[in-house]
């Protein structure tokens, strides 16, 4: 490996495209079973997948088994899983304690649709972690953010909401706005236009959703000062554009401004949740929102979401003013899995040691980047990490759009063919679960090093 000071970024991107072309050929060869399975599925499922996020060209890996920190596709290829269900598996695949808890619950029934004692058990566990007193369960992160927004509207009597450009909060209408807007259509960086991310969004919904840049307190204050905004929904650390951290003082500023204008602050911790540390991102950054939305890793692989809030907020539900409903809410199977996750598996010690293991991996990647002098850097938040193909840290969606997608794509495709599985493209990050070993974690760095060698060869 040699230093790249003399290699312009454009030249690196050209080399990356050559690697991508070659690796796509290899991919087609080694994933023929996935190709056939996708061709069959496309006849009955739009894009051949159950959720559009899972589709990518030329066809996604189709998986037949997963345990611990690995997955095996229908062609028999084995991968160290760094995707972990888009960050939903901090417990690892099928953790023995989740399996035990679910098997025990199966003996006692799968669905009651009337309360079980485990509902209060899990609510107490979440209260202890997040410091918010009252909780309700949902089946997904989408429902958790949707219900939290409704509560915020109930408590304030206001209709408008504010979200961040580039932020993803699930697939309900209010938040499917400016998820990944084309920059050419998105207006000025400091007062972005609200752009629907899908057909089917009504003009009324669009009118009620205001979009602001992350890490920009002036823009937030401008949006709130009319006194007509119910809530600001934000990930405390953005995890749908790689990992984008708040600048020092930003989240405290957000807390102060939302209080000043009587706007509820919703932290979307669907991704950061228990992967950021024992008390989530709220605990790590030391800022308390009015409402928090959770999902993904709290369910240990089962579909579970939750939202918690202050008494003021959650009294909206207690009083019957805001209705929160759902047949599967708090079902005993998910409660059993969540109890195992929150008590036995993701203990403070296990969480810290996954974070330390993640640090090992980041250090190894930092060494490779520094030695090669690449226009890239790593970002860590808790047990998650990523390589971002830009020399400087990104602070918002516009910075992220300026990073090098050719390099990111080539690295991703190169990794898959060597048994390193990450979510497609640059949007996501890796997760080191409690079941990844040091060797599993360092596999990413070894393959990354090979990629960098090729890039510079």
CB neighbourhood size of 344 (10 A): 17
Q: From the candidates 81, 147, 268, 406, which is the catalytic residue?
A: 268
Write b or e for each residue in 170-199: b if 16 or more Cβ atoms lie within 10 A of its Cβ, otherwise e: bbebbbbbbbbbeeeebbeeeebebbbeee
CA distances from 375 to 239, 397, 408 (A): 21, 18, 12
296 carries an active-site annotation: yes
Instruction: Verify binding: residue 168, ligand PLP, rule CB under 6 A.
Output: yes
In the complex with ligand PLP, the residue whose CB is nearer, 73 or 269, is: 269
Beta bridge partners of 138: 305
Two tokens, residue 149: 């927004």
Burial grade of 25 (CB within 10 A; 0-12, 13-18, 19 or more): exposed
363 carries an active-site annotation: no
400 carries an active-site annotation: no
Burial grade of 234 (CB within 10 A; 0-12, 13-18, 19 or more): buried
Instruction: Verify binding: residue 140, ligand PLP, rule CB under 6 A.
Output: yes
Instruction: Verify binding: residue 271, ligand PLP, rule CB under 6 A.
Output: yes
Residue nearest to ligand PLP (CB): 141
- Specify whether the CB–CB gap between 160 and 218 falls below 8 A: no
Instruction: Verify binding: residue 54, ligand PLP, rule CB under 6 A.
Output: no
**Which of 101, 295, 434, 447: binder of ligand PLP (CB under 6 A)?**
295
In the complex with ligand PLP, the residue whose CB is nearer, 102 or 281, is: 281
Report the nearest approach of ligand PLP to the CB of residue 371 (Å): 33
Q: By CB under 6 A, how many residues form the interface with ligand PLP?
A: 14
**Which of 48, 141, 213, 253: binder of ligand PLP (CB under 6 A)?**
141
In the complex with ligand PLP, the residue whose CB is nearer, 142 or 263, is: 142
- Specify whether the CB–CB gap between 257 and 221 falls below 8 A: yes
In the complex with ligand PLP, the residue whose CB is nearer, 261 or 328, is: 328
Q: From the candidates 79, 86, 130, 168, which is the catalytic residue?
A: 168
- Location of structure tokens 């056939």: 36
**Which of 85, 92, 170, 181: binder of ligand PLP (CB under 6 A)?**
170
Instruction: Please give the backbone phi and psi of residue 131, each rounded to the nearest 5 degrees, phi first.
Output: 70, 10
- Rounded Cα–Cα distance for residues 422 and 419 (Å): 10
Instruction: Verify binding: residue 86, ligand PLP, rule CB under 6 A.
Output: yes
- Report the interface residues with ligand PLP, using CB under 6 A: 86, 140-142, 145, 168-170, 235, 240, 268, 270-271, 295
Which residues are catalytic, by number? 168, 268, 296
């Amino acid at each position: 490996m040699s230093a790249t000071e003399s290699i312009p970024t454009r030249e690196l991107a050209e080399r990356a495209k050559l690697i991508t072309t070659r690796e796509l050929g290899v991919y087609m060869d080694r994933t023929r079973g996935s190709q056939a399975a996708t061709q069959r599925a496309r006849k009955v499922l739009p894009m051949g997948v159950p959720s559009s996020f899972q589709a990518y060209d030329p066809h996604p890996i189709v998986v037949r088994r997963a345990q611990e920190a690995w997955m095996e596709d229908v062609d028999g290829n084995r991968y160290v899983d760094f995707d972990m269900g888009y960050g939903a598996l901090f417990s690892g695949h099928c953790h023995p304690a989740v399996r035990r808890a679910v098997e025990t619950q199966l003996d006692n029934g799968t669905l009651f649709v009337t309360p079980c004692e485990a509902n209060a058990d899990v609510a107490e566990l979440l209260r202890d972690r997040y410091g918010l007193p009252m909780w309700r369960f949902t089946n997904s992160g989408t429902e958790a953010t949707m219900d939290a927004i409704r509560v915020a509207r109930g408590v304030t009597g206001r209709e408008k909401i504010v979200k961040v450009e580039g932020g993803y909060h699930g697939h309900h209408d209010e938040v499917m706005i400016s998820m990944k807007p084309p920059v050419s259509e998105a207006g000025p960086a400091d007062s972005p236009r609200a752009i629907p991310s899908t057909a089917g969004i009504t003009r009324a919904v669009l009118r009620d959703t205001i979009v602001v840049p992350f890490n920009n307190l002036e823009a937030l204050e401008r949006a709130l000062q009319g006194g007509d905004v119910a809530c600001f929904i934000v990930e405390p650390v953005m995890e749908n554009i790689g990992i984008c951290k708040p600048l020092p003082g930003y989240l405290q500023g957000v807390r102060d401004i939302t209080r000043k204008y009587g706007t509820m602050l919703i932290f979307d911790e669907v991704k950061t949740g228990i992967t950021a540390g024992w008390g989530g991102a709220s605990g790590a950054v030391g800022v308390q929102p009015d409402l928090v939305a959770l999902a993904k890793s709290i369910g240990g692989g089962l579909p579970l979401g939750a939202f918690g809030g202050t008494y003021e907020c959650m009294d909206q539900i207690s009083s019957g003013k805001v209705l929160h409903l759902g047949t599967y809410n708090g079902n005993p199977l998910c409660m059993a899995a969540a109890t195992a996750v929150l008590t036995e598996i993701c203990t403070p010690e296990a969480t810290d040691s996954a974070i330390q293991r993640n640090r090992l991996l980041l250090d190894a990647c930092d060494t490779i980047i520094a030695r090669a002098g690449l226009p890239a850097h790593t970002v860590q938040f808790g047990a998650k990490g990523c390589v971002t193909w830009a020399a400087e840290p990104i602070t918002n969606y516009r910075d992220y759009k300026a990073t090098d997608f050719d390099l990111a794509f080539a690295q991703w495709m190169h990794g898959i063919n060597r048994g390193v599985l990450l979510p497609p493209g640059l949007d996501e990050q890796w997760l080191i679960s409690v079941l990844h070993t040091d060797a599993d974690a360092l596999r990413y760095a070894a393959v990354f090093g090979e990629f960098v060698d090729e890039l510079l060869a």
